[in-house]
């Protein structure tokens, strides 16, 4: 297969991301999702930073911001709508209200993103002497807590919330840009940003896992944008001629940095998919209900489930062992439903591949990379009688023109 020619730059990447998101989602009829919940930084902030008034330093809350679509500033760091706005409109949903908005209804979703947000909490940066360059404490984990805080406004119980989230779409990011800006804007070398990368990617993965525990099944997890194409970096960093892309004039080493982050994130999400592929996270055989003992199994003979000192895990469906001796309801359900299915599969050998866990075209996911290079990972046990996470991790990370190769990114 011929390698596609790379051209364009950040504009091509943004167009590819938006086209990929809508291509993946538009196949579903409007109304498939009851709500959309969005998390992120200034790229998707719909006004959280200005709900309590406009800070003197914040130029993005003043004209000409917002002029193209709204006709006035809304707190979005753009002249108009953001990617998540297009996604909401694609499903016939209203534009998501900022989660900090007063007297807002969140029955159709909420936007928790806030300008300056990082994947990692601020204390991580403070321990590394970078606290002054991270001025906003609205990290991914803080935003997830904001979600928990408003849950009573649209669901009444733990199970009710899980059911609601199972019919909602979660957009998680992008995250990472501000984490990497912390050392870069402090005048440190790009190597310092590389040192943060494993922590940042793990933080995003941990956040996605927390949302899964809350009941999320369908998630879009974008990667970072090609930073080498942005005027701020092109202005701050000067390179010899060979350091720029021959077609886009972007900084190659910064685009390579973005490519490495996105590749690492893709692997982390694939690992997360494998962990949850049948509804049980791959882990040590830990009891859901028990107490720490001599080993890592959450089992203690002196504090068994139901006895003082023992507690139950937050979500038994993620465990197969209930109390160290017996199974969880979810595990028993798998066994009960698996027997007749196993018999049926044995009878229909020729059709077995169709029963395998694989990308599903009926959910609008391409079975091969789309022209916009939307790399989609579908975690779905879509047979209706099985426990299903139906988690989609759409990693909309790169256009084929720009971030195709990690060895040499031409721009």
How far from the centroid of its chain's Cα atoms is residue 108's Cα? Answer: 19
d(CA 224, CA 134): 18
d(CA 101, CA 409): 42
Please classify residue 294 by burial: count the beta carbons closer than 10 Å to its beta carbon, then call 0-12 exposed, 13-18 middle and 19+ buried: exposed
Please classify residue 116 by burial: count the beta carbons closer than 10 Å to its beta carbon, then call 0-12 exposed, 13-18 middle and 19+ buried: middle
Where helices occur in 215-324 by DSSP H, the ranges are: 231-236, 252-275
Instruction: Name the β-bridge partners of 122.
Output: none
Nearest residue to 109 (alpha-carbon basis) of 132, 136, 130, 90: 90
Name the pairing type of β-strands 375-379 and 391-395: antiparallel
d(CA 196, CA 173): 17
Please classify residue 96 by burial: count the beta carbons closer than 10 Å to its beta carbon, then call 0-12 exposed, 13-18 middle and 19+ buried: buried
CA dihedral (282, 287, 292, 296) positive or negative: negative
Active site residues: 42, 323, 326
**CB burial readout 212-242, b (16+ within 10 A) else e:** bbbbbbbbbbbbbbbbbbbeebbeeeeeeee
Instruction: Give the CA diameter of the chain.
Output: 71
Say which residues have a Cβ less than 8 Å from residue 226's Cβ, sequence separation at least 6. 9, 10, 13, 250, 254, 255, 258, 259, 398, 402, 403, 409
């Amino acid at each position: 297969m011929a390698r596609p020619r790379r051209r364009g730059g950040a504009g091509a990447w943004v167009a590819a991301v938006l086209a990929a998101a809508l291509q993946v989602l538009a196949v579903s009829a409007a109304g498939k999702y009851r709500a959309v919940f969005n998390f992120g930084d200034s790229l998707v902030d719909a006004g959280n930073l200005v709900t309590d008034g406009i800070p003197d330093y914040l130029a993005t809350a003043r004209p000409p911001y917002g002029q193209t679509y709204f006709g006035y500033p809304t707190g979005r760091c753009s002249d108009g709508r953001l990617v998540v706005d297009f996604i909401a409109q694609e499903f016939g949903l209203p534009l998501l209200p900022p989660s900090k908005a007063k007297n807002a209804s969140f029955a159709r979703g909420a936007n928790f993103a806030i300008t300056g947000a990082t994947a990692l909490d601020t204390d991580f940066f403070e321990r590394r002497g970078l606290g002054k360059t991270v001025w906003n404490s609205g990290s991914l984990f803080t935003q997830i807590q904001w979600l928990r805080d408003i849950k009573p406004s649209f669901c009444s119980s733990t199970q009710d919330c899980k059911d609601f989230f199972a019919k909602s779409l979660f957009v998680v990011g992008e995250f990472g840009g501000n984490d990497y800006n912390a050392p870069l804007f402090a005048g440190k070398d790009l190597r310092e940003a590389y040192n943060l990368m494993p922590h940042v990617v793990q933080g995003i993965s941990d956040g996605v896992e927390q949302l899964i525990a809350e009941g999320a099944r369908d998630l879009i997890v974008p990667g970072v944008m090609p930073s080498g194409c942005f005027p701020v970096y092109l202005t701050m960093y000067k390179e010899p001629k060979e350091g720029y892309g021959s077609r886009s004039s972007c900084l190659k080493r910064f685009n390579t940095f973005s490519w490495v982050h996105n590749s690492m994130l893709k692997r982390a999400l694939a690992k997360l998919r494998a962990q949850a592929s049948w509804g049980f996270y791959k882990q040590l055989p830990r009891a859901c209900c028990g107490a720490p003992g001599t080993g890592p199994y959450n089992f203690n003979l002196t504090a068994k489930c139901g006895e003082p000192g023992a507690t139950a895990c937050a979500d038994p469906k993620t465990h197969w062992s209930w109390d160290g001796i017996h199974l969880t309801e979810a595990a028993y359900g798998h066994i009960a439903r698996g027997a007749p299915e196993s018999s049926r599969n044995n009878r229909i050998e020729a059709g077995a591949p169709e029963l395998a866990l694989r990308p599903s075209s009926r959910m609008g996911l391409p079975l091969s990379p789309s022209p916009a290079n939307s790399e989609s990972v579908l975690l779905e046990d879509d047979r209706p009688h099985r426990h299903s996470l139906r988690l989609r991790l759409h990693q909309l990370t790169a256009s084929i023109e720009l971030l195709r190769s990690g060895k040499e990114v031409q721009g």
